[in-house]
Every structure is written in structure tokens, then in C-alpha cells.
Amino acid sequence: MLGLGYVGCVTAACLAHAGHRVAGVDRDAFKVESVLAGRAPFFEPGLAELVRDAVAAGRLTATVSLADALSDADVALVCVGTPSEKNGNLGLEQLRRVSCEIAELVPGRAKPLVVAVRSTVYPGTCEEVVLAAMGGSPLVRVVSNPEFLREGAAVKDFMEPSLLVVGGSDAAAVRQVASLYAGLPVEPSIVALRTAELIKYACNAFHAVKIAFANEMGALAGHLGIDGAEVMDTLCRDNALNISRAYLKPGFAFGGSCLPKDLRALVYRASRLDLKLPLLENVLAANAAHLERAIQAALDLPGERIGVFGLAFKENTDDLRESPVVLLLETLIGKGRKVRVYDPHIRLGGIYGSNERYIMNAIPHIGNLLDQTLEAMLGWADQVLVAQKPSADVLALLEASGKPLIDLVGALGRPAQAAIPA
Ligand SMILES: NC(=O)c1ccc[n+]([C@@H]2O[C@H](COP(=O)([O-])OP(=O)(O)OC[C@H]3O[C@@H](n4cnc5c(N)ncnc54)[C@H](O)[C@@H]3O)[C@@H](O)[C@H]2O)c1
């Protein structure tokens, strides 16, 4: 265990408790001496007992010498710090240093070593910093094994993990690291190396967004004399749309007659209370930026004729109000692109009222662009923007057309964003 801080010491004590032989290394002699004396170097509920018992049982030891710790090791779990630099960038000094120290010891090794990076590192770091330092040695394989424990509940989080992620390209090394946690009640998520690195950031960003959202709703509720806790408790009772996988897949921008309107009203009313809600205030801007990426991808298409599948703001509706596809079409047409559109639920004679007014205001000659059949649109187009989730039979027709498909909604079983150049 390289680094006996919050992550390293907890991981070391818990793995020793699980029956592994663990040697902890730290350049901080105080932490090493504490562990050697059977004491946890800092407070974390349950850690003191685990360290005491594991040291007494001879399964956990500690040293300031990396050479001693690694001499008999099969796996090196890297848990060094990655603090923020002044500009917000990730500080990789500790990781660089420990990688070089491992690399210096590799030539003298008799057996292979799997280096598993538990420190939080930006995608690409395991390859560019850790693997690069190993100088191509066939003895060393590098995997990412990010840590998700929370201080204050770190031992419990280790024993009852919410997530276990191991990423790498060497299947045997990935399996070996996953097997360290074999006794825990969690199914390992085996992913690509960079995916594992990014998952850690995705989780922490998501937690931060959740907290900021709950606090903004609580602040608004407080200003309105409403019990914010009751609002959020009730929100959390919806496990279909709120606390669920719903809306958590990368895809197309949102639109329609409700989300943009209601966000605008909420933010406007809050501003009249002199209440700053930066997260909610910026959601529409984030959505607009996402639509802009899709528009740019469409503008960058090489072919002349652009077919668009989907016009309504989502599948199975004919509601065109605030459909991001309408905004996309406006730009493409404005830039002189040749466009035709097919939507299984839109027939011009069939829409009326505010729906008709919206589309006629945005694209008055929409009637000239709408195809009545998918086949007609596919026959005409050089390439097709998939701007709405197709049904299974439509998807089959789209794929059988042989036309390049640009997936804006994540409907084709491959990552939606891969279709949109950065
Ligand atoms: N603290 C958390 O709750 C938590 C949770 C999940 C992930 N993480 C991530 O895990 C990593 C470690 O976090 P932490 O809070 O345990 O950090 P920490 O600062 O508490 O511990 C890092 C330890 O590494 C030691 N170290 C640094 N370079 C070394 C070297 N060359 N040789 C030996 N020891 C060395 C330091 O002396 C220190 O004791 C960070 O990337 C962090 O972002 C932290």
C-alpha cells in the first residue's frame, strides 16, 4: 500500500482484515510508526481496532522503505495524494515521484507487479504518468482502481462498497486486482482504463451537483416559507423519474413545453427574491451549449444533403414547442444546408394551436422540408442526423440504409458523444 493516508491506511487495514498480507509504505515516519505500534495514524470510526488486530495477527506491517514493501508484493496499490494546484489543476507530484521510485525497483524484481492506482487521477494519467515511468518493462502492468470511500464512514464504505471499479487493458491484471475484494458484497465493474479514471470524477461531480441542487431548492423553499426538507423528501420518493437511471444517459439536449418554461419561471421568480441560484440559473445555458455541439457536428458533415430523423422534442409525441431539433434546423437552413426531415408523428395538417404557431414562427416553410415516409428521406439524404430515439423497426431501416448515421441521442448502442466532435 503506497501511502498510508485516509485512503491507503483504511484500504490496508481492511484488506489485511480480509486475510491479505499487506505492507504499508509512507514517507511520513509518524504514520509508519503508528501502524507498526498497532495504532491508526488518524481518526476514522472502526479503523483503530482493525489496525490493532491486523498488526497483532501479523497481516499488516509498515515501513518507510518502498524496496522492503515491494520485494514480496504481487500488487502495489497507489494511494498517494493528488491535491489541487493553485490554478485548480490536479497536483501529480506525489504520483510522479512514487512512479519513479517503483520504476527504479523493477529491474531487480523476480516476479511481475501489478500497479493499481487508487488515487483520484484525470483520464490518461495512469498511462501518461505511471505506465510511462515504467519504461515499457514487461514485468509491470498498470490498472486503475479508484476509491469511493467517504471520510467518517471509510471503513463501513470499504466493507459495504457502493461501487467497485477496476479498469485496464490487461484482463489478467484487472482480474487480479478485482479479486482482492472478492469477499465484499459488490459486483466489480470492469471497464477500460480511462473509463475507470473518469468514473471517479463523474461520481464526485454528481454528488456535488446533487448537494448544490438540494441546497438551492432548500434556499428557495426557505424564502417562500416552505419546508425544503419536505420538498426534497417527497422528490426522493419518486424512484421512477427522480432517484433512478432516468435522464442520466448522455444524449440530446432537452426541450419541450415544460422543462425550459418551468426552469425559466423558477429562476426568474428567485431573482425577484434577490436569491442567487447559480446551478439552476445555468442549466439552460448548459443545455444550449450541448445543442450548439450538435449543431456544429451537423455543420461539419461532409455530404451536401442532411436528412434528419425526428422533429418533436422527443419520441412518441408531436409536440414541437421548444424542440431542440427545430433550433438545429433553423441554424442548418440559415447556413444554407440542404435539409429534409422525417418524424413518424408529425403530419403538417395534424398539428394545430400553440404547436402549429411555434413551428410556423420558427420555420415557416417547414411543409416543404417534411417527408411523409422514412424511405423518402433516406433515399434523398447523403447522411442522417438521428435526433430522436427510433423504434426498433425504424432503427433497422436506418441502419439498413447504409447512410452515415450521426447519433445525437445515444440511440445506436454506441456512445452518443462519440458522434459529436469535441
Ligand atoms: N480522502 C478521501 O476521502 C478520499 C476518497 C476517495 C479518493 N481519494 C483520493 O485518494 C488519494 C489519497 O487521498 P488521501 O486523502 O488518502 O491522501 P493523504 O494526503 O491523506 O495521504 C497520502 C499519503 O501518501 C503519502 N505519500 C506521498 N508520496 C509518497 C511516496 N512517494 N512514498 C510513500 N508515501 C507517499 C503521504 O505521506 C500521505 O501520507 C487522493 O488522490 C484522493 O483524491 C480520497
Of 66-80, 256-270, 343-357, which range is least confident? 343-357
Q: Which atom belonging to ligand 1 lies closest to the Cα atom of 97?
A: 31
Q: Determine the pLDDT at residue 348.
A: 78
For all residues of the chain together, what is the average pLDDT?
A: 94
> Under a CB-based contact definition with an 8 Å cutoff, are residues 319 and 257 in contact?
yes
Q: How far is the CA of 183 from the centre of ligand 1 (A)?
A: 25
Grade residue 414 by pLDDT with cuts at 50, 70 and 90: low
Looking at residue 333, the DSSP 8-state letter turns out to be: H
Report the nearest-CA residue for atom 39 of ligand 1.
5
Q: How confident is the model over 294-318, as a mean pLDDT?
A: 91
Q: What angle do CA 413, 416, 421 make, to 5 degrees?
A: 140
Q: Determine the pLDDT at residue 347.
A: 82
Write out pLDDT tens, residues 358-383: 888 888 888 889 999 999 999 999 99
**pLDDT at residue 51 greater than cutoff 60:** yes
Pairing of strands 189-191, 140-144: unpaired
Active-site residue, 258 included: yes
Q: Which helix (H) or strand (E) holds 77?
A: strand 75-78
Q: Determine the pLDDT at residue 179.
A: 98
Grade residue 353 by pLDDT with cuts at 50, 70 and 90: confident
Q: Which atom belonging to ligand 1 lies closest to the Cα atom of 7?
A: 16
**pLDDT at residue 422 greater than cutoff 60:** no
Q: Determine the pLDDT at residue 410.
A: 87
Q: Which atom belonging to ligand 1 lies closest to the Cα atom of 4?
A: 39
Write out pLDDT tens, residues 140-188: 999 999 999 999 999 999 999 999 999 999 999 999 999 999 999 999 9
Cβ of residue 197 lying under 6 Å from some atom of ligand 1: no
What are the distances in angstroms from CA 230 to CA 40, 243, 244, 267? 40, 16, 19, 21
Report the nearest-CA residue for atom 1 of ligand 1.
6
Q: How confident is the model over 387-396, as a mean pLDDT?
A: 94
Q: How confident is the model over 180-201, as a mean pLDDT?
A: 97
Looking at residue 349, the DSSP 8-state letter turns out to be: G
